A and B are shown apart, each in its own frame.
Chain A
Amino acid sequence: MFEFFKEGLIQFFGYSGFGNCTWGHIIMICIGLFFIALGVIKEFEPMLLVPIGFGMIIGNIPFTDGLQIGVYENGAVLNYLYFGVIKGFYPPLIFLGIGAMTDFSALISNPKLILVGAAAQFGIFAAYATALLLGFTPMEAGAIGIIGGADGPTAIFLSSKLAPSLMGAIAVSAYSYMALVPVIQPPIMRLFTNEKERLIRMRPPRAVTHREKVLFPLFCILLTAFLVPSGIPLLGMLFFGNLLKECGVTKRLANTASGPLIDIVTILIGLTVGASTQATNFLTPKSILIFVLGAFSFVVATATGVLFVKFLNLFLKEGNKINPLIGNAGVSAVPDAARVSYVEGMKYDKTNYLLMHAMGPNVAGVIGSAVAAGILLSFLY
């Protein structure tokens, strides 16, 4: 009898998380807890970091293989939810919501700001070239480079196509740096600007008509999708969402896309991406390299955005000049990057409100990173 209980307990212990735990699992659970703490205490992108952090905890609770529990096991519930990440259909749905939330007025009223959004995409290709030098394959390098676009859904979309094995590391890296925008960007902005430039006041944006707002998504999808058809899943959904918002007759659809739909998809994408970071797949030297390259691409993207504004100012008349502090907003972390521009601007002039101006390059960055993802896809896939 005693032997039976003893064996049963030993067997049960073998099935439990304690029996299968490794240092890798403990480290990953700690990282998950750290993410949750960052989201809850510091309020750094809580909508993303809390689900991802919790997903990391779920994904790293050790278990015995074959019970259809883990995210990588066929037939497991988490595996079904992860399907949207693998097949890349969550990111376009998120883009639909982003489109339905975004007001492109700042961009429409001051079109030259769109070029800042283009310049900031240089970070993607700088990281791509560096990743190649470090021995990654072109497909892996492309997926890593897109972290510089500071766009989580785009990073997941591209990595699901180009380098599915690295998707966990790339997604976590992209979302982490998006959350750390207020920490990473300001020193770079200060490094490349002087006191005088930070005080530049920009002209208030003009009023944008309803007609312009409705025509904008229609013309944009035609112009961009014909040029880069591989970007259709992202660009199409982005501009479709925006059309729902601006046309004025589909308020319910726009509300759903920008509310319940994007919330549901954010929960699923966050949780499953977090769960996909199982210690055995995630804790590798490649993941560390991906984090380093992600930081590098983010820094380059911020720097090129700021420097491009300075370059543009050389050709602009006095009174029309752009404050280079909005150059960082060329990355597509909406609206965090624009908020960083605003906060930095306020440090030097309490009456200089840069938020609306920074939203221009910020939304241009969303378009730019989706176009860049489309190009990488057409070259590498």
Chain B
Amino acid sequence: MKSFTKYLVLFAALLIAGSTFGQSVRDLRFNEILIKNTDNFDDEYGRHVPWVEIFNTAYNTVNLAGCYLTDDTTGFAAGKKKGGVEPEHWYRIPKTDINTNMPQRTYIVFYLDAEPLYGTFHVNFDPRTSKTNYIAIISADGKDLIDLMYYPKEQLIDTTLSYGLLEDGITDNAGFLNQFTPGSSNVTSTKVSKQERLKRDDPYGIGLAIISMSVVFTALILIFAMLKLFGWSSKKLAQKNAKKTEPPTVANVADVKENKEDDEQLTGEEAAAIATALHLHFNSMHDEESEVITINMPSKHYSPWAQKELTMKRTPLKRK
């Protein structure tokens, strides 16, 4: 029994751990990085240091706490705590800071200044002195690589441009960005929106009305054609079935013709009368009754406790 409880607890713990991971950090992506920061975004101490932006692509809140940021994934495959020591360039995001909670589709900036004592968002490595040209984020257990972004290090050290995803969260489309957008979307182009174009090209809505009505008519004309085809094929099928079941004779043909004429002459009143009769027939069915008519009082089988008069409060009578 004890072992059963143990397994149950273990299973529950795994389930909780799995579900927490499942709905959280997997959706994080590196979005933008700047290395040569001369007069750009400054940290809370007013220093211009390299920074990296992470984007939460999910539609739910994600907590970064416990995850690792690193520029060196050595030891990653072996797990984080080989011999109880965390790898040197791995920065563990503190669990005590509520600011590591990222609401849906939001951004967070980390300063890559090798000054972890400066605060939660200052990591323990600096890309300017790093041997690698990538940055990675690793799950809290150190075993899952959530995202890894390579960047053109040599160029980034020489230029003041930032590098990142041209569309937020789309990792296969990276490049140098025209504008710095730490903490906000990388998409800053001022292209005309669909709505603005429509307002410019069709200010009175006439074009849209013509196109839309044409499409509505086209859709319904297609259905009309389909229904016509239905009618035609069912008529053919009915004729074919009629031929199969009854060989045509002169008398039959005359009968059919006569019936057809009768149908055509069916008045609205007749149709309504038939419909009413059918309705009554199908809807008036009810439980079978005894069919016994009697003047005798029906026998009572209920017990006195259910008598209504006993459950009612009586008005007290004043005795004289």
Contacts and interface: CB of A to CB of B under 8 A. Distances in A.
A380 B194 contact: yes
B254 interface: no
A112 B220 CA distance: 10
Contact of B205 (A109, A141, A209): A141
A104 B223 CA distance: 12
B217 A107 contact: no
Interface stretch (A39-47, A54-62, A175-183, A219-227): A219-227
B205 A212 contact: no
B271 A204 contact: yes
B228 interface: yes
Interface string A337-367: 0000000000000011100000000001001
B213 interface: yes
Nearest to B225: A111
Contact of B209 (A107, A125, A211, A381): A125
Nearest to A137: B195
Main secondary structure of the interface of A (DSSP, over half): helix
A124 B211 CA distance: 13
Contacts of A352: 268
Given A128-B205, A138-B195, A115 B217 contact: yes
Contacts of B215: 227-228, 371, 375
Interface in A198-248: 201, 204, 206, 208-209, 211-212, 215-216, 219-220, 223-224, 227-228
Interface stretch (B108-116, B196-204, B300-308): B196-204
A89 to B, nearest CB: 15
Contacts of A376: 212
Contacts of A368: 216, 219-220
B311 to A, nearest CB: 32
By CB atoms of chain A within 10 A, which of B228, B268, B269, B272 has the most?
Answer: B268
B209 A139 contact: no
A304 B151 CA distance: 62
Contacts of A139: 195
Given A121-B213, A128-B208, A211-B234, A111 B267 contact: no
Given A129-B204, A351-B269, A115 B220 contact: yes
Contacts of B199: 132, 137-138
A376 B195 CA distance: 11
A124 B210 CA distance: 12
By CB atoms of chain A within 10 A, which of B219, B227, B228 has the most?
Answer: B219
Contacts of B268: 201, 351-353
Nearest to B227: A111
Contacts of B234: 208-209, 211-212
Contacts of A209: 234
B213 A133 contact: no
23 contacts: A114-B223, A118-B219, A122-B209, A125-B208, A128-B209, A129-B209, A132-B203, A133-B204, A201-B268, A204-B271, A223-B223, A224-B222, A227-B218, A351-B269, A353-B272, A368-B216, A368-B220, A371-B220, A372-B216, A375-B211, A379-B194, A379-B212, A380-B198
Given A204-B266, A352-B268, 11 more contacts: A108-B230, A114-B220, A114-B227, A118-B221, A125-B213, A132-B204, A227-B218, A228-B215, A368-B219, A375-B212, A375-B215
Interface of B: 194-195, 198-199, 203-206, 208-209, 211-213, 215-224, 226-228, 230-231, 234, 266-269, 271-272
Interface of A: 107-109, 111-112, 114-115, 117-118, 121-122, 124-126, 128-129, 132-133, 137-139, 141, 201, 204, 206, 208-209, 211-212, 215-216, 219-220, 223-224, 227-228, 351-353, 364, 367-368, 371-372, 375-376, 379-381
